Structure 1
Amino acid sequence: MVKRFEDLTFTDDFMFCKTMQNPKLCKKLIEMILSDTIGKITYISVQHSIKTYEQAKSVRFDVLVQAESGKFYDVEMQVSNERNIPKRMRFYQAAIDISFLDKGNSYNNLNDSFIIFICLFDVIGKNRPVYTFENICIQDKGLSLQDGAKKVIINAEAFENTEDKELKEFLTYLKTGKAKSEFTRGIEKMIQTVKQSEQARQEYRLMSTFEMDARDKGAYDNKRETAKLMKLKNFDIALITEITGLPESEIEKL
Protein backbone atom coordinates (compact mmCIF):
# COMPACT_ATOMS: atom_id res chain seq x y z
CA MET A 1 0.00 0.00 0.00
CA VAL A 2 1.35 3.43 -0.98
CA LYS A 3 2.02 5.78 1.91
CA ARG A 4 0.10 9.07 2.02
CA PHE A 5 2.16 12.11 1.03
CA GLU A 6 1.34 13.75 4.38
CA ASP A 7 2.76 10.75 6.26
CA LEU A 8 6.16 10.65 4.55
CA THR A 9 9.22 10.85 6.80
CA PHE A 10 12.95 11.26 6.23
CA THR A 11 13.47 7.51 5.88
CA ASP A 12 10.99 7.26 3.00
CA ASP A 13 12.81 7.21 -0.33
CA PHE A 14 10.94 10.13 -1.89
CA MET A 15 11.33 12.44 1.11
CA PHE A 16 14.96 11.44 1.71
CA CYS A 17 15.85 12.42 -1.85
CA LYS A 18 13.89 15.67 -1.69
CA THR A 19 15.55 16.63 1.59
CA MET A 20 19.02 15.84 0.31
CA GLN A 21 18.55 18.21 -2.60
CA ASN A 22 19.30 20.89 -0.03
CA PRO A 23 23.12 21.31 -0.41
CA LYS A 24 23.61 22.47 3.18
CA LEU A 25 21.82 19.47 4.70
CA CYS A 26 23.39 17.05 2.23
CA LYS A 27 26.91 18.35 2.95
CA LYS A 28 26.32 18.23 6.70
CA LEU A 29 25.07 14.63 6.53
CA ILE A 30 28.07 13.38 4.55
CA GLU A 31 30.57 15.22 6.73
CA MET A 32 28.95 13.91 9.91
CA ILE A 33 29.04 10.33 8.67
CA LEU A 34 32.65 10.52 7.44
CA SER A 35 33.89 12.73 10.30
CA ASP A 36 35.61 14.84 7.66
CA THR A 37 35.06 17.94 5.56
CA ILE A 38 34.23 17.49 1.90
CA GLY A 39 34.41 21.05 0.62
CA LYS A 40 31.87 22.74 -1.61
CA ILE A 41 29.29 20.54 -3.34
CA THR A 42 29.24 21.18 -7.09
CA TYR A 43 26.68 18.58 -8.16
CA ILE A 44 23.70 16.79 -6.61
CA SER A 45 21.52 14.34 -8.50
CA VAL A 46 18.67 12.36 -6.93
CA GLN A 47 17.30 9.11 -8.34
CA HIS A 48 20.25 9.17 -10.72
CA SER A 49 20.13 6.23 -13.15
CA ILE A 50 23.17 4.65 -14.79
CA LYS A 51 23.18 1.86 -17.36
CA THR A 52 26.69 0.96 -18.45
CA TYR A 53 25.72 -1.11 -21.51
CA GLU A 54 22.61 -2.57 -23.12
CA GLN A 55 22.45 -5.93 -21.33
CA ALA A 56 23.71 -4.67 -17.97
CA LYS A 57 21.56 -4.27 -14.88
CA SER A 58 20.90 -0.56 -14.37
CA VAL A 59 21.65 1.32 -11.14
CA ARG A 60 19.49 4.03 -9.61
CA PHE A 61 21.29 6.02 -6.93
CA ASP A 62 19.25 7.76 -4.23
CA VAL A 63 21.59 10.73 -3.94
CA LEU A 64 24.75 11.14 -6.03
CA VAL A 65 27.00 14.02 -5.03
CA GLN A 66 30.24 15.44 -6.38
CA ALA A 67 32.38 17.85 -4.38
CA GLU A 68 34.68 20.50 -5.84
CA SER A 69 37.58 18.11 -5.14
CA GLY A 70 36.07 15.76 -7.73
CA LYS A 71 35.20 13.09 -5.18
CA PHE A 72 31.89 11.27 -5.58
CA TYR A 73 29.52 10.39 -2.74
CA ASP A 74 26.62 8.02 -3.23
CA VAL A 75 24.20 8.15 -0.28
CA GLU A 76 21.47 5.51 0.01
CA MET A 77 18.64 5.16 2.54
CA GLN A 78 17.80 1.53 3.33
CA VAL A 79 14.77 0.70 5.48
CA SER A 80 14.36 -3.02 4.82
CA ASN A 81 17.09 -5.65 4.95
CA GLU A 82 17.21 -7.35 1.56
CA ARG A 83 20.46 -9.12 2.55
CA ASN A 84 22.32 -7.96 -0.54
CA ILE A 85 23.96 -4.71 0.54
CA PRO A 86 27.65 -5.77 0.35
CA LYS A 87 27.23 -6.97 -3.25
CA ARG A 88 25.10 -3.94 -4.12
CA MET A 89 27.85 -1.66 -2.85
CA ARG A 90 30.34 -3.49 -5.05
CA PHE A 91 28.08 -3.06 -8.09
CA TYR A 92 27.35 0.62 -7.36
CA GLN A 93 31.08 1.30 -7.06
CA ALA A 94 31.73 -0.34 -10.43
CA ALA A 95 28.90 1.63 -12.08
CA ILE A 96 30.30 4.96 -10.86
CA ASP A 97 33.81 4.11 -12.05
CA ILE A 98 32.70 2.94 -15.50
CA SER A 99 30.31 5.85 -16.06
CA PHE A 100 32.54 8.72 -14.99
CA LEU A 101 35.92 7.73 -16.45
CA ASP A 102 36.02 9.20 -19.94
CA LYS A 103 37.21 7.02 -22.80
CA GLY A 104 40.94 7.33 -23.33
CA ASN A 105 41.64 8.69 -19.85
CA SER A 106 44.19 7.13 -17.53
CA TYR A 107 42.99 4.89 -14.70
CA ASN A 108 44.75 7.34 -12.39
CA ASN A 109 42.06 9.87 -13.33
CA LEU A 110 39.40 7.82 -11.55
CA ASN A 111 37.76 10.01 -8.92
CA ASP A 112 37.81 8.93 -5.29
CA SER A 113 34.39 7.67 -4.29
CA PHE A 114 32.39 6.83 -1.19
CA ILE A 115 29.39 4.49 -1.20
CA ILE A 116 27.31 5.24 1.91
CA PHE A 117 24.32 3.16 3.03
CA ILE A 118 22.22 4.54 5.89
CA CYS A 119 20.45 1.51 7.34
CA LEU A 120 17.81 1.17 10.04
CA PHE A 121 19.22 -2.29 10.81
CA ASP A 122 22.61 -3.92 11.40
CA VAL A 123 23.96 -5.25 8.09
CA ILE A 124 27.17 -6.67 9.55
CA GLY A 125 25.86 -7.87 12.92
CA LYS A 126 28.60 -6.45 15.17
CA ASN A 127 26.42 -3.75 16.77
CA ARG A 128 28.62 -0.88 15.55
CA PRO A 129 27.01 2.44 14.57
CA VAL A 130 29.45 2.92 11.67
CA TYR A 131 31.28 0.36 9.54
CA THR A 132 33.94 1.72 7.15
CA PHE A 133 35.56 -0.55 4.57
CA GLU A 134 38.45 -0.12 2.19
CA ASN A 135 40.76 -2.52 0.37
CA ILE A 136 43.64 -3.59 2.61
CA CYS A 137 46.38 -6.21 2.37
CA ILE A 138 45.48 -9.48 4.09
CA GLN A 139 49.14 -10.14 4.94
CA ASP A 140 49.70 -6.64 6.29
CA LYS A 141 46.54 -5.11 7.77
CA GLY A 142 48.17 -1.68 7.97
CA LEU A 143 48.74 -1.59 4.22
CA SER A 144 45.96 -0.02 2.16
CA LEU A 145 45.60 -0.47 -1.59
CA GLN A 146 44.84 3.27 -1.84
CA ASP A 147 42.48 2.82 -4.77
CA GLY A 148 40.35 5.76 -3.65
CA ALA A 149 37.26 3.67 -2.90
CA LYS A 150 35.54 3.48 0.48
CA LYS A 151 32.26 1.95 1.56
CA VAL A 152 30.43 3.07 4.69
CA ILE A 153 27.44 1.41 6.36
CA ILE A 154 25.47 3.25 9.04
CA ASN A 155 23.58 1.16 11.58
CA ALA A 156 20.81 3.13 13.28
CA GLU A 157 20.13 0.20 15.62
CA ALA A 158 23.39 0.98 17.45
CA PHE A 159 22.56 4.62 18.22
CA GLU A 160 23.53 4.15 21.86
CA ASN A 161 26.98 2.82 20.96
CA THR A 162 28.58 6.03 19.71
CA GLU A 163 30.27 8.78 21.70
CA ASP A 164 29.74 11.23 18.84
CA LYS A 165 26.81 13.28 20.17
CA GLU A 166 25.74 14.61 16.78
CA LEU A 167 25.79 11.19 15.15
CA LYS A 168 23.95 9.69 18.12
CA GLU A 169 21.19 12.29 17.83
CA PHE A 170 20.91 11.64 14.10
CA LEU A 171 20.67 7.86 14.53
CA THR A 172 18.12 8.32 17.31
CA TYR A 173 16.12 10.52 14.96
CA LEU A 174 16.17 7.78 12.32
CA LYS A 175 14.76 5.28 14.82
CA THR A 176 12.29 7.49 16.68
CA GLY A 177 11.51 10.40 14.39
CA LYS A 178 12.26 12.81 17.24
CA ALA A 179 14.39 15.77 16.14
CA LYS A 180 16.46 17.02 19.08
CA SER A 181 19.54 18.51 17.39
CA GLU A 182 20.00 21.54 15.16
CA PHE A 183 20.74 19.25 12.22
CA THR A 184 17.70 16.98 12.63
CA ARG A 185 15.46 19.99 13.22
CA GLY A 186 16.81 21.37 9.94
CA ILE A 187 15.80 18.13 8.24
CA GLU A 188 12.29 18.34 9.73
CA LYS A 189 11.98 21.95 8.58
CA MET A 190 12.93 20.91 5.05
CA ILE A 191 10.40 18.07 5.15
CA GLN A 192 7.63 20.50 6.07
CA THR A 193 8.70 22.78 3.21
CA VAL A 194 8.45 19.84 0.79
CA LYS A 195 5.02 18.87 2.13
CA GLN A 196 3.76 22.39 1.45
CA SER A 197 4.84 22.14 -2.18
CA GLU A 198 2.05 21.22 -4.58
CA GLN A 199 4.66 20.31 -7.19
CA ALA A 200 6.28 17.80 -4.82
CA ARG A 201 2.84 16.35 -4.05
CA GLN A 202 2.16 15.86 -7.76
CA GLU A 203 5.60 14.30 -8.29
CA TYR A 204 4.94 11.81 -5.52
CA ARG A 205 1.50 10.96 -6.91
CA LEU A 206 2.89 10.35 -10.40
CA MET A 207 5.82 8.33 -9.06
CA SER A 208 3.51 6.19 -6.91
CA THR A 209 1.19 5.54 -9.85
CA PHE A 210 4.11 4.57 -12.09
CA GLU A 211 5.56 2.19 -9.49
CA MET A 212 2.17 0.55 -8.87
CA ASP A 213 1.71 0.07 -12.62
CA ALA A 214 5.19 -1.45 -12.85
CA ARG A 215 4.43 -3.83 -9.98
CA ASP A 216 1.12 -4.84 -11.57
CA LYS A 217 2.87 -5.43 -14.91
CA GLY A 218 5.53 -7.50 -13.17
CA ALA A 219 2.91 -9.60 -11.37
CA TYR A 220 1.01 -10.15 -14.64
CA ASP A 221 4.19 -11.23 -16.46
CA ASN A 222 4.97 -13.67 -13.63
CA LYS A 223 1.50 -15.20 -13.93
CA ARG A 224 1.96 -15.67 -17.67
CA GLU A 225 5.34 -17.36 -17.17
CA THR A 226 3.86 -19.67 -14.53
CA ALA A 227 0.99 -20.54 -16.85
CA LYS A 228 3.42 -21.28 -19.71
CA LEU A 229 5.45 -23.65 -17.56
CA MET A 230 2.32 -25.41 -16.27
CA LYS A 231 1.00 -25.77 -19.81
CA LEU A 232 4.31 -27.27 -20.98
CA LYS A 233 3.96 -29.82 -18.17
CA ASN A 234 0.46 -30.63 -19.48
CA PHE A 235 -1.41 -29.36 -16.42
CA ASP A 236 -5.17 -29.11 -16.76
CA ILE A 237 -6.30 -25.68 -18.07
CA ALA A 238 -8.82 -25.34 -15.22
CA LEU A 239 -6.05 -25.88 -12.66
CA ILE A 240 -3.81 -23.31 -14.37
CA THR A 241 -6.68 -20.81 -14.27
CA GLU A 242 -7.28 -21.50 -10.59
CA ILE A 243 -3.61 -21.00 -9.66
CA THR A 244 -2.73 -18.01 -11.86
CA GLY A 245 -6.07 -16.25 -12.10
CA LEU A 246 -5.65 -15.90 -15.86
CA PRO A 247 -8.70 -16.58 -18.08
CA GLU A 248 -8.80 -19.87 -19.99
CA SER A 249 -8.89 -18.04 -23.34
CA GLU A 250 -5.56 -16.36 -22.60
CA ILE A 251 -3.95 -19.56 -21.31
CA GLU A 252 -4.96 -21.43 -24.45
CA LYS A 253 -3.13 -18.83 -26.59
CA LEU A 254 0.14 -19.25 -24.71
Structure 2
Amino acid sequence: MEKDFDELTIADDYMFYRVMEDTDICKTLLNRVLQGKVETITDIELQKTIDDAGRAKGVRFDVWAKDCSGRIYDIEMQALDKKDLAKRIRYYQAAIDVSLLGKSKPYESLPDTFILFFCTFDYLKKALPVYTFKTVCSEDSLIKLDDGITKIIINSQAAAYEKNEKLKVFLEYMNGKVSSDDEFIQKLEHRIKEVKANEELRREYMLVNTIERDARNDGWKAGVAHGLAEGKSLGLAEGKSLGLAEGKSLGLAEGKSLGLAEGEIRGSRQAKVETAKNLLQFGLSIENIVQATGLSKAEVEAL
Protein backbone atom coordinates (compact mmCIF):
# COMPACT_ATOMS: atom_id res chain seq x y z
CA MET A 1 0.00 0.00 0.00
CA GLU A 2 1.41 3.37 -1.04
CA LYS A 3 2.05 5.93 1.68
CA ASP A 4 0.25 9.23 1.75
CA PHE A 5 2.54 12.02 0.57
CA ASP A 6 2.49 13.75 3.98
CA GLU A 7 3.62 10.53 5.68
CA LEU A 8 6.82 10.15 3.65
CA THR A 9 10.15 10.14 5.49
CA ILE A 10 13.79 10.02 4.44
CA ALA A 11 13.46 6.21 4.36
CA ASP A 12 10.99 6.36 1.46
CA ASP A 13 12.74 6.32 -1.90
CA TYR A 14 10.71 9.17 -3.46
CA MET A 15 11.43 11.52 -0.55
CA PHE A 16 15.03 10.32 -0.38
CA TYR A 17 15.90 11.22 -3.95
CA ARG A 18 13.99 14.50 -3.80
CA VAL A 19 16.02 15.47 -0.73
CA MET A 20 19.27 14.23 -2.24
CA GLU A 21 18.95 16.36 -5.37
CA ASP A 22 20.44 19.14 -3.23
CA THR A 23 24.17 18.83 -4.01
CA ASP A 24 25.27 20.00 -0.55
CA ILE A 25 23.03 17.45 1.16
CA CYS A 26 24.27 14.73 -1.17
CA LYS A 27 27.92 15.55 -0.51
CA THR A 28 27.43 15.76 3.25
CA LEU A 29 25.74 12.37 3.45
CA LEU A 30 28.37 10.72 1.26
CA ASN A 31 31.11 12.17 3.44
CA ARG A 32 29.45 10.83 6.58
CA VAL A 33 29.69 7.36 5.07
CA LEU A 34 33.03 7.72 3.27
CA GLN A 35 34.69 9.78 6.03
CA GLY A 36 35.28 13.03 4.19
CA LYS A 37 36.69 11.63 0.94
CA VAL A 38 34.05 13.10 -1.39
CA GLU A 39 34.85 16.26 -3.31
CA THR A 40 32.46 18.79 -4.86
CA ILE A 41 29.41 17.17 -6.46
CA THR A 42 29.18 18.46 -10.02
CA ASP A 43 26.21 16.50 -11.35
CA ILE A 44 23.14 14.79 -9.94
CA GLU A 45 20.49 12.83 -11.85
CA LEU A 46 17.34 11.49 -10.22
CA GLN A 47 15.84 8.17 -11.33
CA LYS A 48 18.51 7.83 -14.00
CA THR A 49 17.54 5.05 -16.40
CA ILE A 50 19.90 2.79 -18.33
CA ASP A 51 17.91 0.60 -20.72
CA ASP A 52 19.69 0.76 -24.06
CA ALA A 53 21.80 -2.41 -23.79
CA GLY A 54 19.87 -4.48 -26.34
CA ARG A 55 17.64 -7.10 -24.68
CA ALA A 56 19.25 -6.69 -21.27
CA LYS A 57 17.17 -5.73 -18.24
CA GLY A 58 16.98 -1.98 -17.73
CA VAL A 59 18.15 -0.26 -14.54
CA ARG A 60 16.81 2.82 -12.78
CA PHE A 61 18.99 4.43 -10.10
CA ASP A 62 17.52 6.54 -7.27
CA VAL A 63 20.37 9.06 -7.24
CA TRP A 64 23.26 9.16 -9.71
CA ALA A 65 25.97 11.64 -8.70
CA LYS A 66 29.40 12.60 -10.03
CA ASP A 67 32.10 14.59 -8.26
CA CYS A 68 34.71 16.94 -9.68
CA SER A 69 37.21 14.08 -10.00
CA GLY A 70 34.83 12.07 -12.15
CA ARG A 71 33.93 9.48 -9.50
CA ILE A 72 30.44 8.04 -9.84
CA TYR A 73 28.06 7.43 -6.93
CA ASP A 74 24.88 5.38 -7.14
CA ILE A 75 22.90 6.08 -3.97
CA GLU A 76 19.83 3.99 -3.16
CA MET A 77 17.28 3.89 -0.35
CA GLN A 78 15.89 0.41 0.29
CA ALA A 79 13.09 -0.19 2.77
CA LEU A 80 11.98 -3.62 1.54
CA ASP A 81 14.19 -6.70 1.72
CA LYS A 82 13.65 -8.53 -1.56
CA LYS A 83 16.47 -10.99 -0.77
CA ASP A 84 18.28 -10.09 -4.01
CA LEU A 85 20.50 -7.22 -2.97
CA ALA A 86 23.87 -8.88 -3.63
CA LYS A 87 23.01 -9.87 -7.21
CA ARG A 88 21.25 -6.55 -7.75
CA ILE A 89 24.42 -4.65 -6.80
CA ARG A 90 26.40 -6.87 -9.17
CA TYR A 91 24.05 -6.00 -12.02
CA TYR A 92 24.02 -2.29 -11.17
CA GLN A 93 27.81 -2.21 -11.34
CA ALA A 94 27.75 -3.91 -14.75
CA ALA A 95 25.14 -1.44 -16.03
CA ILE A 96 27.19 1.51 -14.80
CA ASP A 97 30.34 0.26 -16.53
CA VAL A 98 28.56 -0.45 -19.83
CA SER A 99 26.96 3.00 -19.81
CA LEU A 100 30.28 4.78 -19.19
CA LEU A 101 32.67 2.96 -21.51
CA GLY A 102 32.32 3.94 -25.15
CA LYS A 103 33.42 1.60 -27.95
CA SER A 104 36.69 3.42 -28.55
CA LYS A 105 37.60 4.09 -24.93
CA PRO A 106 40.27 2.07 -23.06
CA TYR A 107 39.33 0.16 -19.91
CA GLU A 108 41.57 2.48 -17.89
CA SER A 109 39.12 5.32 -18.53
CA LEU A 110 36.48 3.72 -16.33
CA PRO A 111 36.02 5.97 -13.26
CA ASP A 112 35.98 4.82 -9.67
CA THR A 113 32.44 3.89 -8.68
CA PHE A 114 30.61 3.68 -5.36
CA ILE A 115 27.31 1.86 -4.96
CA LEU A 116 25.62 2.66 -1.67
CA PHE A 117 22.41 1.05 -0.42
CA PHE A 118 20.85 2.63 2.67
CA CYS A 119 18.71 -0.17 4.12
CA THR A 120 16.20 -0.16 6.96
CA PHE A 121 16.95 -3.87 7.49
CA ASP A 122 20.03 -6.02 8.04
CA TYR A 123 20.47 -7.78 4.70
CA LEU A 124 23.55 -9.74 5.81
CA LYS A 125 22.28 -10.55 9.33
CA LYS A 126 25.59 -9.75 11.05
CA ALA A 127 24.44 -6.69 13.04
CA LEU A 128 26.98 -4.32 11.46
CA PRO A 129 25.86 -0.76 10.70
CA VAL A 130 28.05 -0.59 7.57
CA TYR A 131 29.28 -3.37 5.29
CA THR A 132 31.97 -2.20 2.82
CA PHE A 133 33.16 -4.47 0.04
CA LYS A 134 36.22 -4.13 -2.18
CA THR A 135 37.94 -6.71 -4.38
CA VAL A 136 40.65 -8.53 -2.40
CA CYS A 137 42.76 -11.65 -2.94
CA SER A 138 41.37 -14.79 -1.28
CA GLU A 139 44.89 -16.11 -0.64
CA ASP A 140 46.15 -12.88 0.90
CA SER A 141 43.60 -10.29 2.06
CA LEU A 142 46.32 -7.64 2.08
CA ILE A 143 46.42 -7.81 -1.71
CA LYS A 144 43.74 -5.63 -3.31
CA LEU A 145 42.65 -5.60 -6.93
CA ASP A 146 42.60 -1.96 -7.95
CA ASP A 147 39.39 -2.11 -10.00
CA GLY A 148 37.98 1.11 -8.52
CA ILE A 149 34.79 -0.55 -7.26
CA THR A 150 33.37 0.05 -3.78
CA LYS A 151 30.07 -1.48 -2.68
CA ILE A 152 28.49 -0.41 0.59
CA ILE A 153 25.40 -1.77 2.33
CA ILE A 154 24.20 0.33 5.26
CA ASN A 155 22.00 -1.16 7.98
CA SER A 156 20.04 1.42 9.99
CA GLN A 157 18.84 -1.30 12.40
CA ALA A 158 22.37 -1.40 13.84
CA ALA A 159 22.58 2.35 14.41
CA ALA A 160 23.44 1.85 18.08
CA TYR A 161 26.70 0.11 17.10
CA GLU A 162 27.95 2.83 14.74
CA LYS A 163 31.04 4.55 16.20
CA ASN A 164 30.97 7.51 13.82
CA GLU A 165 28.57 9.84 15.63
CA LYS A 166 27.66 11.81 12.51
CA LEU A 167 26.68 8.68 10.61
CA LYS A 168 24.97 7.27 13.66
CA VAL A 169 22.51 10.16 13.92
CA PHE A 170 21.61 9.72 10.25
CA LEU A 171 20.95 6.01 10.74
CA GLU A 172 18.78 6.90 13.72
CA TYR A 173 17.03 9.44 11.51
CA MET A 174 16.25 6.67 9.03
CA ASN A 175 14.63 4.85 11.96
CA GLY A 176 12.49 7.87 12.84
CA LYS A 177 14.57 9.58 15.54
CA VAL A 178 15.20 13.26 14.83
CA SER A 179 18.28 14.83 16.42
CA SER A 180 17.70 18.44 17.44
CA ASP A 181 21.45 18.99 17.92
CA ASP A 182 22.73 17.85 14.53
CA GLU A 183 22.75 20.64 11.95
CA PHE A 184 22.62 18.24 9.01
CA ILE A 185 19.57 16.41 10.35
CA GLN A 186 17.81 19.73 10.84
CA LYS A 187 18.69 20.64 7.25
CA LEU A 188 17.13 17.38 6.10
CA GLU A 189 14.00 18.12 8.11
CA HIS A 190 13.76 21.56 6.51
CA ARG A 191 14.19 20.10 3.02
CA ILE A 192 11.49 17.47 3.63
CA LYS A 193 9.09 20.21 4.69
CA GLU A 194 9.89 22.09 1.48
CA VAL A 195 9.16 19.01 -0.61
CA LYS A 196 5.85 18.37 1.16
CA ALA A 197 4.83 22.01 0.65
CA ASN A 198 5.46 21.75 -3.10
CA GLU A 199 2.14 20.98 -4.81
CA GLU A 200 3.84 20.04 -8.09
CA LEU A 201 5.92 17.37 -6.32
CA ARG A 202 2.80 16.17 -4.49
CA ARG A 203 1.05 15.65 -7.84
CA GLU A 204 4.17 14.01 -9.26
CA TYR A 205 4.29 11.52 -6.39
CA MET A 206 0.63 10.62 -6.88
CA LEU A 207 1.19 10.31 -10.62
CA VAL A 208 4.24 8.05 -10.21
CA ASN A 209 2.30 5.74 -7.90
CA THR A 210 -0.65 5.62 -10.29
CA ILE A 211 1.57 4.88 -13.28
CA GLU A 212 3.45 2.11 -11.51
CA ARG A 213 0.23 0.55 -10.21
CA ASP A 214 -1.45 0.71 -13.62
CA ALA A 215 1.64 -0.62 -15.36
CA ARG A 216 1.70 -3.62 -13.03
CA ASN A 217 -1.99 -4.27 -13.57
CA ASP A 218 -1.84 -3.77 -17.33
CA GLY A 219 1.27 -5.93 -17.61
CA TRP A 220 -0.40 -8.73 -15.68
CA LYS A 221 -3.58 -8.57 -17.76
CA ALA A 222 -1.61 -8.49 -21.01
CA GLY A 223 0.50 -11.41 -19.82
CA VAL A 224 -2.54 -13.52 -19.02
CA ALA A 225 -4.16 -12.79 -22.38
CA HIS A 226 -0.95 -13.47 -24.29
CA GLY A 227 -0.29 -16.62 -22.29
CA LEU A 228 -3.75 -18.02 -22.94
CA ALA A 229 -3.53 -17.30 -26.65
CA GLU A 230 -0.05 -18.82 -26.88
CA GLY A 231 -1.17 -21.76 -24.80
CA LYS A 232 -4.10 -22.55 -27.06
CA SER A 233 -1.86 -22.43 -30.11
CA LEU A 234 0.75 -24.69 -28.54
CA GLY A 235 -1.95 -26.95 -27.19
CA LEU A 236 -3.53 -27.55 -30.58
CA ALA A 237 -0.16 -28.40 -32.13
CA GLU A 238 0.74 -30.79 -29.31
CA GLY A 239 -2.76 -32.25 -29.45
CA LYS A 240 -2.11 -33.78 -32.87
CA SER A 241 0.35 -36.27 -31.39
CA LEU A 242 -0.66 -36.40 -27.74
CA GLY A 243 -4.42 -35.95 -27.99
CA LEU A 244 -6.40 -32.73 -27.96
CA ALA A 245 -7.30 -32.80 -24.26
CA GLU A 246 -3.73 -33.42 -23.11
CA GLY A 247 -2.41 -30.97 -25.70
CA LYS A 248 -4.60 -28.18 -24.40
CA SER A 249 -3.46 -28.90 -20.87
CA LEU A 250 0.21 -28.86 -21.81
CA GLY A 251 -0.20 -25.89 -24.07
CA LEU A 252 -1.99 -23.74 -21.53
CA ALA A 253 0.60 -24.48 -18.86
CA GLU A 254 3.55 -23.85 -21.16
CA GLY A 255 1.87 -20.88 -22.78
CA LYS A 256 1.27 -19.21 -19.45
CA SER A 257 4.87 -19.65 -18.35
CA LEU A 258 6.24 -18.39 -21.68
CA GLY A 259 3.60 -15.81 -22.37
CA LEU A 260 3.14 -14.19 -18.99
CA ALA A 261 6.67 -12.87 -18.73
CA GLU A 262 6.69 -11.51 -22.28
CA GLY A 263 3.16 -10.19 -21.95
CA GLU A 264 3.96 -8.38 -18.72
CA ILE A 265 6.87 -6.61 -20.37
CA ARG A 266 4.84 -5.60 -23.41
CA GLY A 267 1.83 -4.54 -21.39
CA SER A 268 3.91 -2.56 -18.91
CA ARG A 269 5.77 -0.69 -21.66
CA GLN A 270 2.58 0.06 -23.58
CA ALA A 271 0.99 1.49 -20.45
CA LYS A 272 4.02 3.74 -19.96
CA VAL A 273 3.87 4.89 -23.59
CA GLU A 274 0.16 5.74 -23.36
CA THR A 275 0.72 7.60 -20.10
CA ALA A 276 3.63 9.54 -21.62
CA LYS A 277 1.45 10.59 -24.56
CA ASN A 278 -1.21 11.89 -22.16
CA LEU A 279 1.35 13.80 -20.12
CA LEU A 280 2.75 15.41 -23.25
CA GLN A 281 -0.73 16.67 -24.06
CA PHE A 282 -0.93 18.20 -20.60
CA GLY A 283 2.33 20.06 -21.24
CA LEU A 284 4.51 18.20 -18.73
CA SER A 285 8.23 18.53 -19.48
CA ILE A 286 10.09 15.66 -21.10
CA GLU A 287 12.39 15.39 -18.06
CA ASN A 288 9.41 14.97 -15.72
CA ILE A 289 7.80 12.42 -18.02
CA VAL A 290 11.03 10.41 -18.09
CA GLN A 291 11.10 10.40 -14.28
CA ALA A 292 7.40 9.53 -14.02
CA THR A 293 7.30 6.69 -16.55
CA GLY A 294 10.80 5.23 -16.63
CA LEU A 295 10.96 5.62 -20.41
CA SER A 296 14.16 6.99 -21.89
CA LYS A 297 14.40 10.59 -23.10
CA ALA A 298 14.71 9.36 -26.69
CA GLU A 299 11.56 7.26 -26.35
CA VAL A 300 9.54 10.20 -25.03
CA GLU A 301 10.87 12.56 -27.70
CA ALA A 302 9.85 10.07 -30.37
CA LEU A 303 6.18 10.10 -29.33
TM-score, structure 1 normalization: 0.87
3-state SS of paired residue (1:176)? coil
Could you tell me which runs of 5 or more consecutive residues in structure 1 were left unpaired when the two chains were aligned.
Answer: 236-254
Deviations 1:103-131 (A, max 9, x none): 21111111000000000111111110000
Structure 1 Cα separation of the partners of residues 50 and 113 of structure 2: 16
Q: Which residue of 1 aligns with 2:207?
A: 206
Within 2, Cα distance between the matches of 1:45 and 1:170? Answer: 22
Counterpart in the other structure of 1:62: 62
Q: Quick one: structure 1 residues 105 and 217, their matched pair in 2 at CA, closer, same or farther if it must change by over 3 Å?
A: same
RMSD (CA atoms)? 1.8
> Which residue does 1:145 correspond to in 2?
145
Deviations 1:153-198 (A, max 9, x none): 0011111111111111111111124344221221111010011111
Secondary structure of the residue aligned to 2:175 is helix
**Once the 2 structures are TM-superposed, how far is the Cα of residue 52 of structure 1 from its aligned partner?**
4.1
What residue ranges of structure 2 are gaps of 5+ in the alignment? Answer: 236-245, 250-303
Deviation at 1:90, TM superposition (A): 0.8
SS at match of 1:45: strand
1 CA distance for matches of 2:176 and 2:200?
28
Q: Which amino acid aligns with 2:90?
A: R
- Give the match for residue 117 of structure 1: 117
Counterpart contact for 1:179–1:188, Cα < 8 Å = no
SS of the residue 1:69 aligns to = coil
Find the counterpart in structure 1 of residue 80 from structure 2: 80
CA distance, structure 1, for counterparts of residue 107 and residue 54 of structure 2: 23
Which SS does the other structure have where 1:136 is aligned?
Answer: coil
**What is the CA distance between 1:72 and its match in structure 2?**
0.3
> Does 1:175 find its partner at 2:175?
yes
Q: Distance in 2 between matches of 1:77 and 1:206?
A: 20
Aligned partners of 1:100 and 1:226: how far apart in 2? 37
- Aligned ranges for residues 1-254 of structure 1 at < 5 Å? 1-180=1-180, 181-224=182-225, 227=228, 232=235, 234=248
Contact 1:130 1:155 in 2 (8 A): yes
Higher helix share: 2
1:148 deviates by 0.4
Q: 1:211-253 deviations in whole A, cap 9, x for unaligned?
A: 1111111231343366458864646xxxxxxxxxxxxxxxxxx
Q: Residue 191 of structure 2: SS of its match in structure 1?
A: helix
State the alpha-carbon separation in 2 of the partners of residues 215 and 36 from structure 1: 41
Q: Write the letter of the residue equivalent to 1:37.
A: K
Partners of 1:218 and 1:2 in 2: CA distance:
19
- Give the Cα separation in 2 of the matches to 1:228 and 1:125: 45
SS at match of 1:42: strand
TM-score (norm 2): 0.74
- Displacement of 1:41: 0.6
Q: Which amino acid aligns with 2:40?
A: K
User: CA 1:213/1:177 → structure 2, altered by over 3 Å: closer, same or farther?
Assistant: farther
1:228 and 1:178 map into 2 onto residues whose CA distance is 55
**Structure 2 Cα separation of the partners of residues 225 and 140 of structure 1:** 53
